Amino acid sequence: MTYSIVALDERTGELGVAVQTRWLAVGSVVPWARPGVGAIATQSFVDARYGYVGLELLAAGRTPEAALAELLAADPDPGVRQVGIVDAAGRAVAHTGADCVAAAGHLAGAGVTVQANMMERATVWPAMLAAYESASGDLADRLVTALRAAEAEGGDVRGRQSAALVVVPGTPGAHPWEVRFDVRVDDLRAPLDELERLLSLNRAYEALDDALESLAVGELTAAMAFAEQAAALAPDDDQIRLWQALTVFDSGDEARGRRLYRSALEIEPRAGEHLRRFVTAGQLPGAERLVARLTAEER
């Protein structure tokens, strides 16, 4: 009772799954992904074994076709299962059991599968594939575009409740537990709107991580650029604003830095203590006086 997309970005090697349904907490059961191995969506009457064991089989060298065949052979009720699998080489395969609730079906393309069941119309999954293949942006953007296309075709006949997006890195040597995005909306009548908001916030925190790493090694110019990027993506986030204030203050624009800092304090009065504890923990070497000056007026 779900629609989903599984895909490999051939340019970056990222693997991802995106899904929406009229059921609670879809992100806890449908999407599975492992860097350098593959990604899987297991849905309809969900059997999580398809995700967990499926990734183990891919990691052991099975092709998606062989892994799927093995999983189906071991399943006492394969007719109610729906599965999409894409491996790190871009090989893709999907299954829609004969007993899945109509409208149900799937399509596989180069490095991508789309699958859906209990849909308003049988045009849902073809629209998803077409939207994904013509979309721009990175893998996460393209996956969300596919979900939006499904909704435009009517989506789940029961309505909508939860959505999720998982993207794992394609960097060589990435650990099995590494994740770039793991965004979940468990219970909301417009989950895709919230999914997109959370994805943007995740991108902001990616930039904030980069800013903090740059600050830690004294690369102020890079830290400034990353902090401004984070603030543009999440202008109302007081934690991002706090670190933006520090980088702006450090750059010499003390007036703007203080304004940003005061606005962060208005939302979270403990913002200064946040910075001071970072200094105490040794996470901002050489910035002790800087932090003291920025936070002095509140004390």
CB 242 within 8 A of CB 295: no
Amino acid identity of 85?
I
Predicted confidence (pLDDT) per residue in 118-149, tens digit? 999 999 999 999 999 999 999 999 999 999 99
Which tokens sit at 13?
Answer: 């090697």
Q: How far apart are CA 126 and CA 149, in angstroms?
A: 9
Predicted confidence (pLDDT) per residue in 158-181, tens digit? 999 999 999 999 998 999 999 999
**Whether residues 170 and 222 fall in one domain:** no
- Residue 182, Cβ density class (10 Å: 0-12 exposed, 13-18 middle, ≥19 buried): middle
In a domain, 157, yes or no: yes
Number of domains in the chain: 2
Predicted confidence (pLDDT) per residue in 47-61, tens digit? 999 999 999 999 999
Q: Residue 49's domain spans which residues?
A: 2-189
CB 286 within 8 A of CB 218: yes
**Whether residues 26 and 114 fall in one domain:** yes
pLDDT at 299: 52
**Whether residues 77 and 211 fall in one domain:** no
Q: How far apart are CA 248 and CA 48, in angstroms?
A: 48
- Report the relative pairing of strands 31-34 and 112-116 from DSSP bridges: unpaired
Q: How far apart are CA 88 and CA 124, in angstroms?
A: 26
> Model's pTM, two decimal places?
0.95
List the CATH number of the domain containing 166. Answer: 3.60.20.10
Predicted confidence (pLDDT) per residue in 81-124, tens digit? 999 999 999 999 999 999 999 999 999 999 999 999 999 999 99
**Percent of the chain residues past pLDDT 70, beyond the cut:** 99
In a domain, 194, yes or no: no
